[in-house]
Structure 1
Amino acid sequence: MKSVVLGENLIVPTKILCIGRNYVEHIHELGNEIPEDMVVFLKPNSAISTVLHSEHQGETLHYETELCFMFQNGRFSSVAVGLDLTKRDLQTKLKAKGLPWERAKAFDGAALFSPFVAIDDAEAQLHFTLSINDNLVQEGHIDLMI
């Protein structure tokens, strides 16, 4: 089983619960509608990786920076920055057919995480950026979430 870092400890999540279509700008960027309800999907433990790949089985991957929360003992205990990798072409094909698109999101190596920090230790205004080759490609904060 794969693990994530929380302080000095390694934690083994059984699954990764993801909330999609919760950033308005990204919803518009992909040409999607703002949902009435949350879009929820899962990634298995095998999706956790420490190695970033630009392709998976010959398909180019898209990267999104995410705020990631750890849920322990009935509460959100920690936060990290994560990369959510997507096989965007496959996702588009599956969505067009009305099929579930988890195959495009839940493959091995599709989730990378920074070390988690206690929420009490995190800044009140969570803010993150994603740069690729020193080019800023994403910037976000919790105020952008639905």
Structure 2
Amino acid sequence: MNWVFTPPAPSYLEVVDSTARFPVQRVFCVGRNYAEHAQEMGHSGREDPFFFCKPAQVILPIGSDGKGVMPYPSQTKNLQHEVELVVALAQGGRDLSTAQAAQAIYGYAVGLDMTRRDLQAQAKELGRPWELGKSFDAAAIIGPIAPTTQVLGSGDIRLYINDELRQQGNLNQMIWPVAEAIAFLSRYITLLPGDVLMTGTPAGVSTIHKGDQLRAEIDGFTPLHISVK
């Protein structure tokens, strides 16, 4: 293949207890997938899931020690955290059943969907896309993938700022559980090996500042320790 320029290296995530790397294709995010968070954002009730994307290039991959540094993004005065379960797919497909969606899962990780909330709010008010609020350097912070064939149905999920608990919930509070969300998405687009899904956040999102220390935890997975610079 005669490229016009050398293609950039692929985005990837580390894998727990392995030298292998998980190559990322696309990052899909489920919006308002916990009832209490939906309510704090002004919505209620169970509705069909909706999705938005982040480019794979905005991933800040975190290694086995869970430590990372996030540069505070430009053009915002209201950067907010959203702790989320990240699902990595090793298989793809179209119109998957829930069982097929479960079989496509490679593993899970702890993630942070970082959001320029003021830019997102402006876009919502004007009926415009959210990209500038959701997609920027280091907007998707993702820890090492823990391979497993288990479909997670429960597990505590927490976020601390400077050791103060800000978000707390359980994976069993998802409006659309993991396999159901994957199956729903596959009705609209062919999923690919390497796709990852950020599955939504519990209530308690709040503003963070330069110098803050974030700790994101989900039971059974490598926690994230992120310094905001």
The alignment's TM-score, normalised by the length of structure 1, stands at 0.88
Larger RCO, structure (CA 8 Å, separation 6 or more) = 2
Structure 1 residue 58: Cα displacement: 3.9
Contact 2:90 2:105 in 1 (8 A): yes
Q: Secondary structure at the match of 1:32?
A: coil
Partner of 1:98: 127
Q: Secondary structure at the match of 2:11?
A: coil
Letter of the 1:67 counterpart? L
Question: Whole-Å Cα distance in 2 between the matches of residues 26 and 122 of structure 1?
Answer: 23
CA RMSD across the alignment:
2.1
In structure 2, the CA distance between the partners of 1:89 and 1:35, relative to structure 1 (3 Å rule), is: farther
Q: Say whether residues 1:23 and 2:34 are aligned partners.
A: yes
Q: Secondary structure at the match of 1:103?
A: helix
Percent identity (aligned): 34
Q: Say whether residues 1:86 and 2:120 are aligned partners.
A: no
Structure 1 residue 63: Cα displacement: 0.5
List runs of 5+ in structure 2 lacking aligned partners. 1-9, 62-67, 93-103, 176-229
Contact 1:21 1:34 in 2 (8 A): no
Partner of 2:13: 4
Q: Secondary structure at the match of 2:82?
A: strand
Deviation larger for 136-145 or 30-39: 30-39
Partner of 2:86: 68
Letter of the 2:70 counterpart? H
Contact 2:88 2:107 in 1 (8 A): yes
Question: Whole-Å Cα distance in 2 between the matches of residues 71 and 135 of structure 1?
Answer: 33
Structure 1 residue 123: Cα displacement: 7.1
Contact 2:153 2:172 in 1 (8 A): no
Q: Say whether residues 1:130 and 2:173 are aligned partners.
A: no
Letter of the 2:43 counterpart? N
Question: Whole-Å Cα distance in 1 between the matches of residues 142 and 82 of structure 2?
Answer: 12
Partner of 1:32: 43
The alignment's TM-score, normalised by the length of structure 2, stands at 0.58
Q: Say whether residues 1:53 and 2:70 are aligned partners.
A: yes
Q: Secondary structure at the match of 2:47?
A: coil
Question: Whole-Å Cα distance in 1 between the matches of residues 28 and 75 of structure 2?
Answer: 26
Question: Whole-Å Cα distance in 2 between the matches of residues 81 and 29 of structure 1?
Answer: 22
State how many pairs are aligned: 146
Contact 2:71 2:138 in 1 (8 A): no
Structure 1 residue 64: Cα displacement: 0.7
